[in-house]
Chains A and B, each alone.
Chain A
Amino acid sequence: MKKLSARRRHPLAAVVVLLLALVGTGGAYALLAPTSKAQADETSQSLTIEEGKKLFSVSCASCHGTGGQGSSDGPSLVGVGAASVDFQVGTGRMPAATSQGPQVVAKKNIFTQAQIDQLAAYVASLGAGPEVPTSEQYGPDGADIAKGGELFRTNCAQCHNFVGSGGALTKGKFAPSLEGVAPKHIYEAMQTGPQNMPSFPDTTLSEKNKKDIIAYLDAVNSPKTVNPGGLNLGGLGPVSEGLFAWIFGLGALIAVAVWVAARTAKAKKS
């Protein structure tokens, strides 16, 4: 450093600085050009991407290719966007097991949110795509729960059931239960359409619509939901109710009948 500081007044210093600045800017531009918006803190962003790339090459590249271009084992990630990464990794779906059956299922997330952000930044740098929503976008403020319910029944209930208890799709695939899914992940799923789910971009379901749906799910299918009638038997409708009626209803009554019939009026033996 001494050398550098010693020569900072060299006549060519300005030229060198200019050159370095040009190379730096050009390089950063080459790295950052695909993202749709300029980042505020460019150095930290490029660091994040760098870190994300490292994580990517360890955890994702074996299927998605070293540059996220995809392979026979996994699709290209160019243009899927940060929201997609945040959803897939945040819900533990990615990285997937080598043999995952008909559909990749949610499991325990093995990354910290910081690492997910790094991965997301790297994948976002490959091509423009939906961004991770802000808490303002998926938060409950200003949401219309009833409207959300109507939208949910129109757009989501076909696969996810009335209140998001989940349902079957063809050949072992299924629409998962939405109970306990983070609002951010629900938002991202709507935005990006993971696996069999269609995507609902803002042109189909506006930001407000998404907010309404999330607020509805929070009201009817979350740990704080109150079931006025008691145990909700999984919220699966008449099949679980019927099983319950047979096993616990008629079962209990038959047990009672056996008990009553066993107590017959007999003459006392003295």
Chain B
Amino acid sequence: MLKDITIGQHYPTGSAIHKMDPRIKIIITFLYIVSLFVVNNFVGYIYVIAFLLSAILISKVPITYILKGLKPLMILIGITFMINIFMTAGEVIFRLGPFTVTEEGLYQAIFMALRLIFLVMGTSLLTLTTSPIALTDGIEHILNPFKRIGVPAHELAMMMTIALRFIPTLLEETDKIMKAQIARGADFESGNLISRAKGLVPLLVPLFISSFRRADELAMAMEARCYRGGENRTRMKELKTQGKDYFALSIGTLLIAALIVNRIWF
């Protein structure tokens, strides 16, 4: 059960996209998200699909793997689809009891569902092609200019790194505590939702206590290794932006420009 959690899932294939500067990848993903909201007709989606498909092909991540990532969001997409199809006023196509389906509603529903699907596919491509460390590094660098207005860029990145570092450790510990409590007669699997939630107490309390102890010890170990925040800190791996990164960035810019033009003209 615990093995199914795949936060920050990374699918290494060593493709050109994997090797890109994470900062550029984050910026392009951002441009991509913005362009999805610029689109206001189906013609615009042709550009988006072309961009997304070529990115997926270059990344060598199997498209079925990306589509699998949509599964947990199917409910959300379904609800959005329903709301749009039934709630939009306009020319009625047919009635279904108290519900009416309009032409505009149908159009809007398909349009919105596609937008969500493209959004999830595009952003998951970012995490699939970027290792968590590269991602945190990229975020830190991108947020750096905002330090002056009080954005704790380094602290945020450090928090993410530590969180990622401790996911496997805490999962292992959860598993251990669970087994220990089961051996003492705890029941995590039967009963209704409320009794199951109550059953989690003997799991969560020890887990919380040990997490605090770990945090305490980690903080001391970090201090012992001269950690004093982001000031004057250097990095072993420095990020480098190469020619192909700028090329990719210009394509991303081109996409958003094309979509703006498309929106104004059509």
A binds B: no
Interface of A toward B, CB cutoff 8 Å: none
Interface of B toward A, CB cutoff 8 Å: none
